[in-house]
């Protein structure tokens, strides 16, 4: 029941960290995407709905604070939440439902962060902004992926404590007959 | 089953609504820019988050400063290492430039000497080794019989104001030639003091002063002064020679002419050529009948 408030607090704190701290550490762009870590973690441990709401709000906050087009980053996080939840087999699952155990989150974080970066570039290209592809890849996407991966190693255990993954019920139909 | 279906529908509806909201916001934002409702929302969010961002900034500043200090230290160390590497490289380059400059100067002097002595057929080469044997000093040239060098060919080296005698070729292979230098006691070059009629003698290494030459068998009757130039005497005269006449050998630095009863006097000569630092030389192909 408290998952939504916790997610909202998390998304706000991570957004603040993302805009205030990481630019000091990585002044040349390509900083870590903390919101993407949260969205992927929620998509794996709490399902699509909470991940989508969190991603939408996180993207909205980031766009507002960074004076970008509102909704742009939200779309990228929504796509990330949907794809991770769907392809990890957690798309329509929920607490207490018969579902497989959540997969290891780190590969999904990397895939999700890559998806967000590519999605942002795609939306910006659709809006008519042009970039040097080489610069974008080597100075934005690759550094961001590496830093996100490193920070995910720290952040995921903390998030796991807050959003403990739902345990899968034993599949009774597969139990041996006595 | 129905409950689960309702949940699925609700999730899909939520996601669909969020996507629609994002697209609506994006459209509005694209149309309005930073004015209107979108601008107000952005300003509001910035005002809301600014205090938190400020606190986060202050709280994390020590860590950020520590990070910058550490990365700066690593960067400084890398820079120091790079600086040392560059210094070494500059040193090597400087040394190479000096060496090349010296080679160029020698080559220019060689070319100048060859140009001024066009009546000689010559071949230029470099000293590639010096014999460590002080009793029979010699140098090895990187040119040989394949280049036209033959036994007993005279060898000269460029000096500041022309060329001076080094010695003669005493052994030849296809690609190398060994030169017997003036400091070899067995060489015996016939020489004369430039401008003094009859001041002929033989140049041999000085026994008391290493690196110096002695001009022996000079008649007592001729007048020789310090500073006079000693040159090869050539083929003519009673002392025959392998060397053409007029090639400078050295400068007179001491004349011993007060021994009464002796038929000849001894003259100390400082060679023009620095045998410790021989670079480029010119071989005169005298055996081909091109001598002057």
Task: Tell me how close the Cα of B35 comes to any Cα of chain A, in angstroms.
Answer: 11
Residue with more model confidence, B134 or A160? A160
Is A3's pLDDT higher than 80? yes
Chain B nearest C-alpha distance from A66 (Å)? 8
Q: What is the mean pLDDT of chain A?
A: 82
What average pLDDT does this structure show over A130-154?
Answer: 86
Give B12's pLDDT tier (boundaries 50, 70, 90): confident
**Residue B241 reports pLDDT greater than 70:** no
Q: Does A103 touch chain B (CB under 8 A)?
A: no
Cβ of residue A28 closer than 8 Å to a chain B Cβ? no
Confidence (pLDDT) at A29:
62
Mean pLDDT of B6-33: 88
At B114-170, the pLDDT tens digits run 777 777 788 888 888 887 777 778 888 888 888 888 888 899 988 776 788 999 998
Q: Residue A25 and residue A107: Cα distance in Å, rounded?
A: 24
The string of pLDDT tens digits covering residues A47-105 is 889 999 999 999 999 988 888 888 999 999 999 999 998 888 765 555 555 556 678 88
Tell me: pLDDT of A128 over 70.
Answer: yes
Cα angle A52-B49-A72, degrees, rounded to a multiple of 5: 40
CB B153 within 8 A of CB B286: yes
The average confidence (pLDDT) of chain B is 83
Q: Where are the domains of chain A?
A: 3-93+100-162
Domain A3-93+100-162 falls in which CATH fold? Arp2/3 complex 21 kDa subunit ARPC3 (1.10.1760)
Q: Helical H runs in A26-71? A: 34-45, 48-65
Residue B289 has pLDDT above 70, yes or no: no
Q: Is A61 on the interface with B (CB under 8 A)?
A: yes
Query: Which band of pLDDT confidence, cut at 50, 70 and 90, is reported for residue A174?
Result: very low
Closest among A149, A25, A57, A126 to B66, alpha carbons compared: A25
Q: Does pLDDT of B288 surpass 60?
A: no
CATH of B122-284, picked from 3.90.1170.50, 3.30.450.20, 3.40.47.10, 2.40.10.350, is 2.40.10.350
Best B3, B8, B15 residue to mutate vs chain A (most A CBs within 10 Å): B15
Split at pLDDT 50, 70, 90, the class of B53 is confident
Distance from CA of B81 to the nearest CA of A (A): 24
CA B262 to chain centroid: 51
The model's pTM is 0.53
Residues of chain A with C-beta less than 8 angstroms from the C-beta of B28? 70
CA distance B116 to B110: 10
CB atoms within 10 A of CB B167: 25
Q: What pLDDT is stored for residue A27 in this prediction?
A: 60
Q: Which two tokens stand for residue A127?
A: 């809006």
Rounded to an integer, the average pLDDT of B215-230 is 86
Is a pLDDT exceeding 80 seen at residue B218?
A: yes
Q: Per residue in A11-32, pLDDT tens? A: 999 998 888 877 766 665 678 8
Range B95-122 average pLDDT: 82
Residues of chain A positioned with their CB less than 8 A from the CB of B37: none
Strand partners, B122: B284
Average pLDDT for A143-159: 91
pLDDT band, very low/low/confident/very high, at A172 (cuts 50, 70, 90): very low
Best CA proximity match to A58, nearest among A45, A43, A44:
A43
Confirm or reject contact between B60 and chain A (CB < 8 A): yes
Whether the CB of B48 is below 8 Å from some CB of chain A: the reply is no
């Amino acid at each position: 029941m408290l998952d939504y408030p916790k997610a909202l607090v998390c998304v706000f704190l991570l957004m603040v960290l993302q805009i205030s701290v990481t630019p000091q550490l990585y002044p040349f762009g390509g900083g870590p995407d903390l919101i993407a870590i949260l969205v992927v973690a929620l998509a794996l441990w709490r399902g699509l709905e909470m991940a989508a709401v969190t991603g939408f709000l996180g993207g909205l906050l980031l766009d507002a604070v960074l004076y970008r087009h509102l909704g742009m980053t939200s779309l990228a996080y929504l796509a990330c939440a949907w794809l991770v939840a769907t392809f990890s087999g957690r798309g329509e699952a929920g607490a207490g439902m018969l579902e497989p155990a959540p997969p290891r989150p780190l590969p999904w974080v990397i895939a999700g962060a890559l998806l967000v970066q590519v999605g942002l570039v795609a939306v910006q290209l659709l809006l008519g902004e042009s970039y040097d592809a080489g610069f974008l890849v080597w100075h934005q996407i690759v550094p961001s992926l590496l830093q996100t991966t490193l920070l995910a190693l720290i952040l995921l255990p903390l998030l796991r404590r807050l959003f403990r993954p739902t345990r899968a019920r034993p599949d009774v139909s597969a139990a041996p007959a006595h | 089953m129905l409950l689960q279906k309702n949940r699925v529908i609700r999730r899909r509806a939520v996601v669909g609504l969020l996507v629609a909201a994002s697209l609506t916001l994006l459209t509005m934002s694209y149309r309005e820019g930073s004015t209107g409702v979108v601008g107000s929302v952005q300003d509001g969010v910035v005002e809301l988050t600014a205090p938190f961002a400020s606190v986060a900034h202050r709280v994390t500043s020590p860590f950020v400063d520590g990070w910058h200090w550490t990365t700066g230290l690593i960067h400084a160390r890398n820079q120091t290492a790079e600086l040392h590497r560059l210094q070494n490289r500059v040193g090597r380059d400087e040394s190479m430039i000096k060496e090349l400059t010296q080679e160029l100067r020698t080559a220019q002097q060689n070319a100048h000497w060859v140009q001024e002595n066009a009546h000689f057929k010559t071949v230029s080469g470099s000293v590639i080794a010096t014999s460590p044997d002080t009793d029979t000093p010699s140098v090895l040239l990187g040119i040989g019989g394949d280049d036209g060098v033959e036994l007993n060919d005279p060898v000269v080296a460029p000096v500041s104001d022309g060329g001076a005698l080094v010695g003669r070729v005493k052994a030849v292979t296809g690609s190398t030639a060994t030169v017997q230098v003036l400091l070899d006691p067995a060489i015996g070059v016939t020489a004369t003091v430039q401008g003094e009629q009859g001041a002929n003698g033989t140049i041999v290494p000085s026994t008391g002063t290493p690196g110096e030459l002695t001009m022996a068998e000079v008649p007592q009757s001729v007048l020789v002064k310090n500073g006079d130039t000693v040159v090869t005497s050539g083929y003519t005269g009673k002392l025959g020679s392998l060397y053409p006449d007029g090639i400078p050998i050295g400068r007179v630095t001491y004349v011993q002419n007060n021994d009464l009863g002796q038929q000849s006097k001894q003259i100390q000569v400082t060679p023009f050529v620095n045998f410790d630092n021989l670079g480029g030389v010119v071989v005169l192909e005298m055996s081909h009948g091109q001598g002057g």
